Structure 1
Amino acid sequence: MIRSMTGFASASGSLPPHAWDWELRAVNGKGLDLRLRLPDWIDGLEAGLRKLLSAEVKRGNLTLSLRLARDEQSGAMRVNEAQLASVLEAMAVIEGRADAAGVRLAPASAADIVTLRGVLEQAATEDDAGPLAAALMTEAEALLADFNEMRVGEGAALRKLLLAQLDEIAALTAEAARLADARGATLAETLKRNLAKVMENTDAADPDRVAQELALIAVKSDVTEEIDRLAAHVEAARDLIAEGGPVGRKLDFLMQEFNREANTLCAKAQNTELTRCGLALKTVIDQMREQVQNVE
């Protein structure tokens, strides 16, 4: 199966206290260009992702983005000893003055104290990047599978379109062969008339020279090789599509050969219908070449 170079996939996941969002997208490219936007503090993550992507994708400009966030509310709480000491000292001063003034205060509970600002605070935790990196790599594999599934789907549509265009090229090539055979009698008659005119205005023509010129004209107007090559290219393209895999570059090169033969056919046509057929071939070949640019 062939695959498209374009694709998109996204995913979200979490491993407390971290949560993340992935986004993987690709557009056409002559080679493989990986652009990774990742946090730089997770050791080994970029190297692992590059290895994973390059093993599955052979052509295209890929951009992989990872947005990572940490939930600061998910960590443990701890007592700020210095702040607690300050609060208790202040409470003792207040209670002493209240007693001296004859004011009776309600006793304070631990629940009352921990609600005071600064007494209870978020405990600082050290991030262990190992489990996080492992979780991210596992999810990246699933992300890549979704990405490839989309590329395979687009590749199936491309395959159908390319095979239809090859059928059209094959039909036009067969038509060109028929027209080339049909123009033979007309071309020979035209050549005879032109030769007669030349001979009438020449006193002493060299028979060998005339034979050479006739042979040269015949070669210049013969399109048999071009038609044979076009037919061979059609079969070669069908074989590549059936082979599947990253065959985009080979197909692109083959399209250049298709175009070269169609151009030569038009140049040698010397016939209105054959020229029209050659131009139709060029049109279909150009359309097919545009689609081939999407094949990995």
Structure 2
Amino acid sequence: MKSMTAFARTQCSYDWGLATWEIKSVNHRYLELHFRLPEGWRELEMALRERAKHQLARGKVEFALTLTLDAHLQRPSLNDDVLNGLIEVIRDVRLRLPAASHLNAVEILKWPGVIAEPQLNREQMLADLTACAEQALQQLNAAREREGAALKALIEQRLNAMEKLIEPLTDVVPEAVKSYETRLRERIAQLQADVDEQRLAQEVALMAQKLDVAEELDRLRTNIKLVREALQEEGPIGRRLDFLMQELNREANTLGSKASDMRLTEAAVELKVLIEQMREQVQNIE
């Protein structure tokens, strides 16, 4: 079980310099990947997308790469071919247009291609950057698993609390029906009227039917069991848990609507609070 919220940062040192990968992940309905790569290294994206899809199922994930080349590769050098060609063009222009202004050295250096690109072994660098990104992905997955374990513990605490609330409710309905029958008899006695036992039995039976929440309690227990089973499964379970939270909430609402005993009403409110707390946590589960 994994959370969708995590962050990973990995630095890798090579002969050519330093690579820093940062990956951050937040909750999302689907897997959405974004990349912030230095100019000239966009070709990394396709390979990283495939690797991410094999390791991540859901979440909005952003990869960011920072490159710091070694000092000897950052030392500028002239591209003799481009510079010589530019000098020839400048000379030709001055012959044709003697009044043309002269270019200073700084302006010449700004010309595209005059400063030679550092000689990089791109194939080796691509392999190094991909391997470093793989380390960052593993670190991200480990963080998601740790967060997932924490969420699992929180949800199990709420499930235990729900079971403690539900357990005594089975005895509430018979007690409430008995109390209702007693109140009816006392009221009839106050009115000094004859008791129609058949009619009284019908009224008590109707109230018992109205108060009967055995089905709702059974469904709550069943859904709690299904949540526990889902928590033990491997792979993405977030969508299933979200559905089960909806089912639990529906049964708690039904329980509250049928409650005419204060104990049932209070239990329904407490159940809804616990379910809402779980639902908020479930939104972060992959």
Cα distance in 2, alignment partners of residues 191 and 45 from structure 1: 79
Q: Is structure 2 residue 41 aligned with structure 1 residue 42? A: yes
Residue 80 of structure 1, CA deviation: 6.7
One-letter amino acid matched to 2:35: L
Pick closer, same or farther for the CA change 1:217–1:182 going to 2, 3 Å.
closer
Q: Which has the larger radius of gyration?
A: 1
Q: Is structure 2 residue 218 aligned with structure 1 residue 228? A: yes
What's 1:182 paired with?
175
Q: Is structure 2 residue 259 aligned with structure 1 residue 269? A: yes
One-letter amino acid matched to 1:47: M
User: Which residue, out of 162, 170, 175, partners 2:163?
Assistant: 170
Structure 1 residues not aligned, in runs of 5+:
84-117, 201-206
What's 2:51 paired with?
52
Q: Is structure 2 residue 164 aligned with structure 1 residue 160? A: no
User: Which residue, out of 247, 263, 266, partners 2:237?
Assistant: 247
What's 1:290 paired with?
280
Residue pair 1:175, 1:277 contacting (<8 A) in 2 also? no
CA RMSD of aligned residues (A): 3.4
Residue pair 1:75, 1:123 contacting (<8 A) in 2 also? no
Cα distance in 2, alignment partners of residues 33 and 3 from structure 1: 16
Cα distance in 1, alignment partners of residues 79 and 258 from structure 2: 93
Pick closer, same or farther for the CA change 1:49–1:79 going to 2, 3 Å.
closer
What's 1:6 paired with?
5
**Segment drifting more, 233-242 vs 18-27:** 18-27
Residue pair 2:31, 2:58 contacting (<8 A) in 1 also? yes
String of CA shifts for 1:64-111, please: whole Å, max 9, x gaps: 11122444633797897999xxxxxxxxxxxxxxxxxxxxxxxxxxxx
TM-score, scaled to structure 1: 0.72
Corresponding residue SS for 2:3? coil
Residue pair 2:4, 2:25 contacting (<8 A) in 1 also? yes
TM-score, scaled to structure 2: 0.74
Residue 281 of structure 1, CA deviation: 1.1
Structure 2 residues not aligned, in runs of 5+:
85-108
Residue 246 of structure 1, CA deviation: 1.2
Residue 12 of structure 1, CA deviation: 1.8
Residue pair 2:73, 2:119 contacting (<8 A) in 1 also? no
Residue 161 of structure 1, CA deviation: 1.4
One-letter amino acid matched to 1:52: R
Instruction: Work out the percentage of aligned pairs sharing the same amino acid.
Output: 36
Corresponding residue SS for 2:151? helix
Cα distance in 2, alignment partners of residues 255 and 15 from structure 1: 49
| Number of residues of Structure 1 aligned to a counterpart in Structure 2 | 249
Cα distance in 2, alignment partners of residues 173 and 161 from structure 1: 19
Residue 46 of structure 1, CA deviation: 0.5
Cα distance in 1, alignment partners of residues 69 and 50 from structure 2: 27
Q: Is structure 2 residue 143 aligned with structure 1 residue 144? A: no
Cα distance in 2, alignment partners of residues 6 and 45 from structure 1: 24
What's 2:98 paired with?
none
Residue 253 of structure 1, CA deviation: 0.9
Residue pair 1:28, 1:59 contacting (<8 A) in 2 also? yes
Pick closer, same or farther for the CA change 1:277–1:17 going to 2, 3 Å.
same
**Counterpart mapping for 1:81-120 below 5 A:** none
**Counterpart mapping for 1:71-90 below 5 A:** 71=70, 73-74=72-73
Residue pair 1:16, 1:74 contacting (<8 A) in 2 also? no
What's 1:278 paired with?
268
